[in-house]
Amino acid sequence: MKFHHLAPHVEGMQLAFADPLVRPPSCSRPPPRDSDRSRACAPGQRALRRRGARGFTLPELLAVVVLIGILAAAASPSFVSGMRDRRVNRAAMEISGIYRLARYQAIGRGAAVLVRWTASTGAFQVRQAHVDNIAAGSLIATSCLSVTNWMDPAQTEPVTTLQTEGIELAAMQLLDPTGAASDNADVCFTPRGRTFVRYNPAGTFAPLLGALRVNVTNTRTGLLRSVFVPPNGVARLGL
């Protein structure tokens, strides 16, 4: 077969493909319209425009600072009141823990444990009775009624003391089951889990027949938290 008559056409195709490739426009987007050509293909101008739009002016910053100061001044009283309420809550929880500790100590150790509240000093003092060691090494648990003087180191020993007098804006008040306030109260827990009470350090113990209550009040905000000691001796914090 003869193809010499196709040579002129092949040479024309080679010349067509030999032209240099056309480079794409400098912008990555499609070619812009005439009205947008200067804005689309001028990256330097776009960078300058963005740089001028960044940040805040001095009046705007001052306005923000003043606004923050106003909000902080408005929120500070409630923040301070909340801090004081938390101190009252913590004090009530510690008082509840004192009575619970005394009860568990009495049952676990096998000897009577006393919690003495004294309003004049604002202290909850915990003392435990000594365990009598009799012949042959047997141990006899001392009861609440057999200790004649709970402050006598020969008969009792200190466990811990909770001082509430220094708690800021917290007023303590102990109420008997009838609702009467008492300046002194001895709550004694036996190894068998029984609870005795007396409101005179020189008096005699009697079984606790109602719930004894300790009120903790925030004198500034009026928040009241109550600690209840029921006849079973398991103290709890009122809701």
- Look up the domain containing 99 and give its range: 78-237
CB 201 within 8 A of CB 156: no
190 in any annotated domain = yes
Mean pLDDT of 201-230: 90
24 in any annotated domain = no
Residues 22-56 pLDDT 10s: 555 554 555 555 555 555 445 556 655 655 556 77
CATH number reported for the structural domain that contains residue 195 in this entry: 3.55.40.10
215 in any annotated domain = yes
Q: Is the pLDDT of residue 8 over 50?
A: yes
Q: What is the pLDDT of residue 97?
A: 94
Task: Show the CA angle centred on residue 63, arms to residues 62 and 69, nearest 5°.
Answer: 90
Q: What is the pLDDT of residue 102?
A: 94
Q: What is the pLDDT of residue 7?
A: 52
13 in any annotated domain = no
Domain count, the chain: 1
Question: Rounded to the nearest 5°, which phi and psi values hold at 153?
Answer: -65, -20
6 in any annotated domain = no
Q: What is the pLDDT of residue 1?
A: 46
Q: What is the pLDDT of residue 139?
A: 52
17 in any annotated domain = no
For residue 37, which amino acid is it?
A: R
172 in any annotated domain = yes
95 in any annotated domain = yes
Nearest to 103 by CA among 19, 35, 190, 21: 190
CB 220 within 8 A of CB 185: no
CB 238 within 8 A of CB 226: yes
The overall average pLDDT reported for the chain is 78
Residues 108-157 pLDDT 10s: 888 899 999 999 999 999 999 987 665 555 555 578 888 889 999 988 99
Q: What is the pLDDT of residue 16?
A: 47
For residue 157, which amino acid is it?
A: E
Mean pLDDT of 193-213: 92
Q: Which long-range contacts (CB under 8 A, 24 or more apart) does 103-107 make?
A: 103/189, 103/193, 103/195, 103/233, 103/234, 103/235, 105/159, 105/189, 106/189, 106/190, 106/191, 106/193, 107/189, 107/191, 107/192, 107/193
Q: What is the pLDDT of residue 67?
A: 82
**Model confidence band, residue 218 (pLDDT cutoffs 50, 70, 90):** confident
**Model confidence band, residue 12 (pLDDT cutoffs 50, 70, 90):** low
Nearest to 169 by CA among 98, 227, 228, 89: 89
Mean pLDDT of 68-84: 66
